Structure 1
Amino acid sequence: MPLIYFLVYLNKVEYGLYRIKYATGRHPRVAEKSRKNGDIIKLLKEIESLCQRSKQSEVILLVGDVGAGKSSLVNTVIRALTEQHLPRAKTGKGGAGSKTVTLQAFNQCGVNADDFKDDHDLKGLTDMLPTLIDFAGNSICQKEYLEILELILGGYIPTGTSSKFLEEYQREFGVGKLSRKFNASDPAMKVTKIVFVIDAQSCSLPKALIEGIQRAIQQHTADGQLKYHCDLFVVLTKMDVTDQETKLDSTASVKQSGVSREERERELAEILTIEGALNDNLFRWTSYHDKNTEQSPQIDIVALTFLKTMMQQRPTVARSSVKPKALLPKEFIQMRVEKILDDAWTYGCRNWNSLDQQTQFIVWAVLAGCFIIFLLSLSYA
């Protein structure tokens, strides 16, 4: 009997020490949870600091195929900020019914001041949170899509505009005419960052979409200056599903897409030329959804890290006060004529012996005509 009492006593002591360990945070699970909560508090403090120093909020354009997870990304950012389930972006499974039919903009990341508790760090600072624009992509990336994209980048198309209206306008009047309809730019809606939202389970990358957007942001003015100054980022969504499949079958992702996740990320980095900044420009994302509603520190940390990165403004680049010379019409004509003469001379030298006499005569006549025009342009100089 004394032995039994002694064993019961030891069991109670052990249980008491176990509870003390939990209460003091020394247990591994409690310590891990405390550390993650500490990371969340730190990120919120950093976002608060960015809100206080920002002069103008950033405008983030989310682009990607239908069903890639853009709306879920918006809702996850809202939940990470407010710790509340506030699904303000409509989500779907990628079918026709879930396609974004208007140009949606979520000012202040889609949150209001009333969404925060009174003691929240961001209470009263929501005006400086970024604007998130949800724009459905086009894997084919036709010229019609690129025209709409360029107008969005410049802040020309008002939010809430129907995608169907834009497409019908292009069909009726042709590509290139939308700029006449939307000719006023809103400086507060000019895009500063572009985020490619890509489904990690997708069998292939939307290369046409990526290349099309890269062409769009490389547009320049007549003076040679870039029209749009946008940084590029990537969000790989549905990582929870991908990781779960990988745990069940280590070759699942390879069977599905033909490449590993690491190879997919390297390919993305190469296409976007961000090989040296992959960890800073790529986010492995898991969203809150109907089957994943519990508050998760891991999800919140990624979402808040993403938001902090989006809020960091570009350094101001010093611009020269010297502007390129504006060409006069006669100078423009003279340069064109010189180019024609140069091309004709190069072509003639390479292929002269292979031409028949009649063609040689025509070439001489064209060269003589160009030379006469050139002399006339000099006489008017």
Structure 2
Amino acid sequence: MSTKRPLLEIRDLDVSFQTQKDPLRIVHGLSLTLEQGETIGIVGESGSGKSVTSLAVMGLLPQPTGFISNGEILLDGRKISGLKEKEMRKLRGNEISMIFQEPMTSLNPVFTIGDQLSEPLKQHTKLNRKERKTKIIDILKTVGIPRPEQIIHEYPHQLSGGMRQRIMISLAMLGEPKLLIADEPTTALDVTIQAQILDLIRRINEKKNTSVMLITHDLGVVAEICDKVAVMYAGEIVEYTDVRTLFDKPLHPYTQGLIASMPDKNERKGELYSIPGNVPRPTELPQGCHFSTRCPLAMERCHQESPPIISSGGNHTVKCWLHDSAVKKEGEEAKEQLVEKEEEYNVRHAITS
């Protein structure tokens, strides 16, 4: 276990949004840590709270509607949750950067690529115009952009989706941040370009020792580049461990369902498995475990009480009653009583017949 101070610490985080009545919690008691140079995957279906978590870390929750209602976020030991916007601007693009989900809507259509890439350098460095141009061309070469000298004079609409995503990555990496957040960086890209983008993020992680928080719904992506993974469902982390353990020994029924629904390229199947139902809306969360209405293994207790976070040895935690020792004992005792009753019935039946 590392004795270093984590680069990113999220402690018991609640994120809420103001409604016409009362504030509505979207993220519930989320805690995780990320070491320098590590890559963590945050996975789950749409509506699980992944992107809201990333926006909370970036200090980009829509104001005044969205806000952190509990907990704290620390970057390199410094509390950044609650910082004023002016202070957060100094951090963004400098110590912490984000690759957004849609490169076409994230880039400004009326400014050239060069103008957009020079803006963070104006904000965070004292480089002159010539030095900024040199640095921009260097970073474009690093991310695999061909003919960067011409590209800087072009507009976003003149580039392909893969090229725009590379521009977004170069924009995020200009300030050489300690933490890079990638929100669904391969969405809407074809398979070949997806592989190139993932390889690029991996190389940035290795060469620059940059910590990466990868937001995705694709467990295949997580298996490829992540060190550890947090599985989110309905605003909560339901399972948290290293990536090898997650695939070798998934504990939560939701994680097991996600893995079971992955297509196997080496095996032809009929219909792919899918988890029944949908992620509940924040206003319609079931009592007890949030996954209880979709879980094939749900017990009566699952519908009544929210499960605690249970350690399964090492750094593996799961939020599920199935792994609570007291519940296991109750289940085993119930099975024993059932067997005894069946045996007693069989004996009586044999005597009377």
Q: TM-score range by the shorter chain?
A: under 0.3
Task: Give TM-score scaled by structure 2 length.
Answer: 0.25
